[in-house]
């Protein structure tokens, strides 16, 4: 099983080796896509978890038992190629290079699998070819 999740945690939880436990105890592959911790040491983590279905569920249950709020990543960026004028402004702001310019053709492309929904591209697009869409997903249990 492979899924993207958002974890919201308190200062006490941020002091614990949570990722280490997910890897060691539940044999999960953890790909951290985005993280933010404020000065009070509270924050969130956007991660992709991959592993056997039972281990995945046990790992998510472990997080919840610690008091970490776990939600599915329910937003996605959609790029409308037909509206895009190929200006490349979005690619210059994209931290993960999910929006990129091919230097030979000077055309913009979008790879949703790299996108962490940071929103940097939304405001810079002059034609609004990039939009944020919400997906309806079943809650992570």
How far apart CA 121 and CA 106 sit, in angstroms, is: 18
Q: What is the pLDDT of residue 138?
A: 42
- Sorted by where each begins, the domain ranges of the chain are 2-72, 75-134
Q: What is the pLDDT of residue 56?
A: 96
> Could you give phi then psi for residue 86, rounded to 5 degrees?
60, 35
Predicted pLDDT at 134 = 58
Instruction: Give me the architecture of the 75-134 domain, per CATH.
Output: 2-Layer Sandwich (3.30)
Please tell me the class of the 2-72 domain.
alpha beta
Mean pLDDT of 62-77: 88
Q: Give Cα 94 to chain centroid, integer Å.
A: 13
Residue that wins the pLDDT comparison between 36 and 126: 126
Query: Is the distance from CB of 26 to CB of 58 less than 8 angstroms?
Result: yes
State mean pLDDT over 112-140. Answer: 77
Token pair of 92 as six digits: 């210059």
One fold for 2-72 and 75-134: yes
Residue-wise pLDDT for 27-65, tens only, equals: 999 999 888 888 898 988 889 999 999 999 999 999 999
Phi and psi torsions of 10, nearest 5°: -90, 175
In the block, residue with structure tokens 């949570």: 18
């Amino acid at each position: 099983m492979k899924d993207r999740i958002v974890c919201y945690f308190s200062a006490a939880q941020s002091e614990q080796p949570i990722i280490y436990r997910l890897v060691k105890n539940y044999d999960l592959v953890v790909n951290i896509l985005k993280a933010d911790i404020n000065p009070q040491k509270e924050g969130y983590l956007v991660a992709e978890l991959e592993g056997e279905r039972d281990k995945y569920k046990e790992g998510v249950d472990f997080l919840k038992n610690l008091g970490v709020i776990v939600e599915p990543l329910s937003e996605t960026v959609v790029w409308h190629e037909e509206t895009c004028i190929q200006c490349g402004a979005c690619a210059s702001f994209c931290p993960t290079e999910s929006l990129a310019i091919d230097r030979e053709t000077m055309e913009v492309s979008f790879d949703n699998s790299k996108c962490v929904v940071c929103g940097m591209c939304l405001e810079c697009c002059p034609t609004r070819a990039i939009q944020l869409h919400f997906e309806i997903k079943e809650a992570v249990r």
